[in-house]
A and B are shown apart, each in its own frame.
Chain A
Amino acid sequence: MLYRETGQFKSNYAEDMAIFPIRQDGIALGVLLAVAFIGVPLLATLHVWPFGTDYLLWAILLPFLILALAAIGTNILVGYCGQISLGSGAFMAIGAYSAYKLATGVHIPLAWLGIAITIPPLPVLASILLGGLAAAGFGIAFGIPSLRIKGLYLAVATLAAQFFFDWVFLRVPWFTNYAPSGSVNAPELNFFGVIVQTPIQRYLLCLTFVTVIAIMAKNLVRGNLGRQWMAIRDMDIAAELIGIRPLYAKLTAFAVSSFIVGVAGALWAFVYLGSWEPLAFSIDRSLDLLFMVIIGGLGSIMGSFVGAAFVLIVPVMLNLIPAELGVPLSTQTITHLQFIIFGSLICYLLIKEPRGFARLISIGKEKLRLWPFPY
């Protein structure tokens, strides 16, 4: 009933092509953003349920936002451009370590030239964005093989990036500023004089990043570039025949995707972990991101959020529920059960809706539009 588009006339192309052709969608998003930007911090400041403790902010919302951002990046490559990547973790790591180096100052002595490249410590915001750019650069480099290799072969080939960068950040002490343990600490999060410290500040920071990048990504995939990507995904040879350059389309997808993933990596390291080692960006992270994208829905920005929520929150819930219900099970059994249930859920979802939550959402919307008529 609420979801009626009656009376919403479109009298020019711009309206027809708008990001939300249905007004209610725009309103819903507005409400969501208002809740996220104003409601949540307010409740958290007042310590109202469920924000009695920092737990929800720190351990659920913060990682959710950052991983959703990374999932958007992965979705651009996998969902929109059809290039399967198992190396997203590595690009997160590149973003994180590049940002770390830039924020703490870069010094590269070029002994044979007798000079040294020195960049003074940059502000955190610049470091994070430049970290994303560095990831984009490496994304392009590791995207080049995609011009020749396709499908699952490409997926395994991207593992080369994953393992190579795991090793680089573990072995090359320059990246960790010669920390004896190889574990590095995030610099002070100073954004134009505001030092981001409390969970609420961190949450708002990530939320801003995610909102801005998600809107940009949404617009990108609706435009010329996004359509090129989707053409390549649906059939690359046909796309090439109608004049789309695969080189350009694929490499831009790798670049944009890696940029977003890199920024997410920098946020993960700086804002969420605070102190990290390469293991934080291991192959497991890459697989998780791929899960989020597939469960959420390939080729959907909204789906990336739902997928991230599912992959992140379901295991935590599965862990919490027995404790809350007081079931006398050992941690061991609970964890094993959690593995089994999570695995079964994934299989179930894939069988029932291989196109993910995004598909279910759009079916739901369609039903609402037609309600009370079945369709």
Chain B
Amino acid sequence: MIALGQFLEVLIGGLMSGVLYSLVALGFVLIFKASGVFNFAQGAMVLLAGLALVRALDLLVAHGVPFWAAIVLGIGFGAAIMAATAWLIERFVIGPLVNQDGLTLFMSTIGVTFVLEGAAEMIFGSDVYPLRLFPTDAWFVFEDLFPGGILVNKLDVWGALIAGILVAGLAIFFQRTKTGRALRAVADDHLAAHSVGIPISWIWFVVWLVAGLVALVAATVWGTKLGVQFSITFLALKALPVLIIGGLTSIPGAIVGGLVVGAGEKIAEVYLGPSIGGGIEYWFPYVLALAVLLVRPQGLFGERIIERI
């Protein structure tokens, strides 16, 4: 019974942290879907959004603005910063690089990563800034069933809730709004979309903006978990296997990929780790992703790649 309880605890913990990875992975998917850009800068965008939010928040609270108003204003400020970033990236990097191949675009986003990291830290500071938007303690459920109960972290639950709302919101945005439909059209074939009068650069701005807002949401959760600091950019590396397993073009795929990665790596670490030295969660998701790719080269939910001569 104890073993079962412990297993459930690890499983639940893993699934939850997987959802938190999905929050970051979602931003990747959005941009890849709409513009074919594999956006390595997503981690840096989370850092930038988080820093903008937390610094604005601290400043407002220090000036006596009530906390709830400061949160609203801070999030507004963060969103404005992300909008400016999206505009700059579209205008100066992605726009001029239209029609280049995937690798060049990928590399250019690494360039963007450098710029964003440098600028974010130069403007907002490179200290660690605590952010306290969500509770971070834990519930212990089923205490009568299992000795000690099963631990569920409240922050993880909040994260899952937010991820759920985000996915629902994005689904509605993509399916029901005019801009969303235009986005899907651009994603399918940007030349065709262009010729029927969809303003491509506007659409790409919107995509980067949405990805920026997703980064802001991710920053609220991860900022609460870690404190806003440079290390947040490492999340990009945690999100990559999530993407690959789910498929680069699928929003539900990002969530499912997150769940698979989270549960897989935690179970592997806790049950396999001690016998082979520990720390295996570092590479386990990637090997898992490799295994998934060998069976389905476009990920679980990715669009099938059709090749013609």
Contacts and interface: CB of A to CB of B under 8 A. Distances in A.
User: Are A and B direct contacts in the complex by CB distance below 8 Å?
Assistant: yes
A336 to B, nearest CB: 4
Interface string B111-124: 11111111101100
Contact of A237 (B103, B289, B307): B307
Contact of B97 (A148, A163, A166, A354): A354
A347 B244 contact: no
Given A153-B248, A159-B241, A166-B282, 13 more contacts: A150-B305, A155-B106, A156-B286, A157-B286, A164-B283, A167-B282, A167-B283, A171-B276, A172-B277, A287-B110, A294-B107, A343-B116, A344-B115
Interface stretch (B5-13, B151-159, B294-302): B294-302
B296 to A, nearest CB: 10
Q: Which of under 10, 10 to 19, 20 to 34, or 35 or more describes the interface residues of A?
A: 35 or more
A346 to B, nearest CB: 3
Interface in A159-183: 159-160, 162-164, 166-167, 170-172
A92 interface: no
A153 B93 CA distance: 23
Given A164-B283, A238-B309, A339 B110 contact: no
A333 interface: yes
Contact of B280 (A84, A167, A290, A336): A167
Contacts of B112: 343, 347
A164 B107 contact: no
Contacts of B231: none
A119 interface: no
B95 to A, nearest CB: 9
Contact of A346 (B114, B243, B277): B114
Interface in B125-155: 126
B277 A294 contact: no
A291 to B, nearest CB: 7
A342 B114 contact: yes
A151 B286 contact: no
B287 interface: yes
B108 interface: yes
A337 interface: yes
Q: Which of B237, B278, B290 has the most CB of A within 10 A?
A: B290
Given A152-B106, A291-B110, A171 B278 contact: yes
Contacts of A344: 111, 115
Contacts of B116: 343
Contacts of B100: 350, 354
A149 interface: yes
B215 interface: no
Contacts of B92: 347
A44 to B, nearest CB: 33
B121 A153 contact: no
Interface of A: 78, 84, 145, 148-153, 155-157, 159-160, 162-164, 166-167, 170-172, 235, 237-238, 241, 283, 287, 290-291, 294, 332-333, 335-340, 342-347, 350-351, 354
Contacts of B96: 351
B279 interface: yes
A148 B309 CA distance: 17
A207 to B, nearest CB: 29
Interface string B231-261: 0000001001101100010000000000000
Contacts of B76: none
B102 interface: yes
A155 B32 CA distance: 15
Nearest to B111: A346
A78 B276 CA distance: 34
A336 B93 contact: no
22 contacts: A145-B290, A150-B297, A155-B38, A157-B244, A157-B286, A157-B289, A157-B293, A162-B286, A166-B283, A167-B279, A167-B283, A171-B278, A171-B279, A335-B118, A336-B126, A340-B114, A340-B118, A342-B114, A343-B110, A344-B115, A351-B97, A351-B108
B108 A156 contact: no
Nearest to B126: A332
B177 interface: no
B237 A283 contact: yes
A153 B299 contact: yes
B175 interface: no
The prevalent SS among residues of A at the interface is helix
A290 B38 CA distance: 15
Contacts of A237: 307, 309
B104 A294 contact: yes
B286 A164 contact: yes
Return the 7 tightest CB-CB contacts between A and B, nearest first. A343-B114, A339-B118, A346-B111, A343-B115, A163-B283, A160-B286, A336-B122
B114 A339 contact: yes
Given A167-B282, A343-B112, A351-B93, A153 B297 contact: yes
Nearest to A171: B277
A273 to B, nearest CB: 22
A98 B244 CA distance: 31
Nearest to B104: A354
Contacts of B244: 153, 156-157
Q: Which of A156, A283, A344 has the most CB of B within 10 A?
A: A156
A221 to B, nearest CB: 19
Contacts of B104: 294, 350, 354
Contacts of B122: 333, 336-337, 340
A189 to B, nearest CB: 31
A68 to B, nearest CB: 18
A350 B93 CA distance: 9
Contacts of B114: 339-340, 342-343, 346
A346 B107 contact: yes
A336 B116 CA distance: 10
Contacts of B93: 347, 351
A339 B112 CA distance: 10
A171 B114 CA distance: 31
B208 to A, nearest CB: 14
Nearest to B280: A167
A163 B286 contact: yes
Interface string B263-280: 000000000000011111
